[in-house]
Structure 1
Amino acid sequence: MKTKFFLALCFGCASLSAAQPDYSQQIQIDADQLVSVEENILTYRSNVLITQGSLQMKADQLEIDASAGKGKEVYTATGSPVSYSQQLDNGQPVTATAAQMRYEPSSRTLTLSGDAELTQSGSVVKASVIRYNVEKKQLSAESNDSKRVTTIFTPEEKNNP
């Protein structure tokens, strides 16, 4: 049975937009190898680093599928695990790990699958699949039969005078 859990990022998400939103900046890819250049598909391997503004992903392999046309590329990163980080405009980081991450810049959607975990402002969401829209600041998490969605909220610390 699948369980879905939707959050409007109520666990402390601030806007991801800074002076120029990350998703409007260029995407840069660095890797040890570019191993495959098929028609409309690129494959990078070993120490892959994807950056777009403050957004950063690290993976073992990255496949870019551009078959849908310019501006509709799909980036699929795999690793053990793939890591993601991004700076919020309040200075707080968002970090995530998963076996696979799929980034679709045209819809501003990051999909984490396989032991997915996203941490923000000290709070954590763990699930089989997490979908995160970086523009709308929306998150959904989904479990499979053997794993439930887990969310851990960290309370704010109050300074006592």
Structure 2
Amino acid sequence: MLKLFTPLNLVLTSLALSWLSPMAIAQGRADFAQPIAIQAQNESFDIANKMAIFVNDVRITQGTLEILAERMEVSRDSATETDVFVATGSPATYSQQLDDGSPITARANIIRYDQAAQLLTLSGDVEVNQNNSVIRGNEIIYNFATQQLTANRDGSEDDRVTTIFMPKKKNQDDPTER
């Protein structure tokens, strides 16, 4: 049976799964049952080429999840019936409140999700923050299938990947944590 492509179907069927952050795989799940809203100053749909383009002040929200970008392209691969999402900005940003109430944020020049390969790639001046801990690098790749994260430098001799883990804060009211 041939499935008909519609711009709304392209966005709604895959966007909910596409913007999971590397550190929030099992968290923030309630957001993905919420409606998706995409706002932009301009949007266009190329139905023949199965592509949706949102430009200028793009804002995507779904529950507490929010992505801000200058441009987002969504394209569908006819053979696999899967989508590729690419958000770009200076930087593009992602934020979400996790199930435990803590926020997670990420920024990158390019945020790309390939649904068929199950890869989330953040590239260009990447920073991911959660619970005062941070990962910085030129590229961070998260493989949903294998649940593996790789952080890469930009290739220059001086560049390094940085990860900072913050110690757990002591509870002053709990005598066992003194």
Q: Taking structure 1 as the reference length, what is the TM-score of the superposition?
A: 0.76
Between Structure 1 and Structure 2, which shows a larger proportion of strand residues? 1
Residue equivalent to 2:167: 155
Residue equivalent to 2:102: 92
State the number of aligned residues.
149
Pick from 29, 35, 38 the counterpart of residue 38 of structure 2.
Answer: 29
Query: How far, CA to CA, are the matches of 2:90 and 2:160 in structure 1?
Result: 21
Residues 16-69 of structure 1 show CA distances to partners (whole Å, capped at 9, x for unaligned) of 154x462x6554321110145252112111110123343221000111111346
Between Structure 1 and Structure 2, which shows a larger proportion of helix residues? 2
Residue equivalent to 1:3: none
Q: CA deviation at 1:111?
A: 1.5
Query: How far, CA to CA, are the matches of 1:26 and 1:106 in structure 2?
Result: 23
Q: Within 5 Å, which residues of 2 pair with 1:12-161?
A: 15-18=26-29, 20=30, 22=32, 27-35=36-44, 37=46, 39-68=49-78, 72-105=82-115, 109-132=119-142, 138-146=148-156, 147-161=159-173
Distance 1:107 1:89, change over 3 A: farther
Indicate the percent of aligned positions where both proteins have the same amino acid. 38
RMSD, matched Cα = 2.9
Q: Which has the larger radius of gyration?
A: 2
Any gaps of 5 or more consecutive residues in structure 2?
1-21, 174-178
Q: CA deviation at 1:132?
A: 3.4
Q: CA deviation at 1:131?
A: 2.1
Residues 72-106 of structure 1 show CA distances to partners (whole Å, capped at 9, x for unaligned) of 11110111110001221111111000111012456
Q: Taking structure 2 as the reference length, what is the TM-score of the superposition?
A: 0.69
Aligned residues of 2:31 and 2:65 also touching (Cα < 8 A): no
The alignment partner of 1:80 has SS state of strand
Larger RCO: 1 or 2 (CA < 8 Å, sep 6+): 1
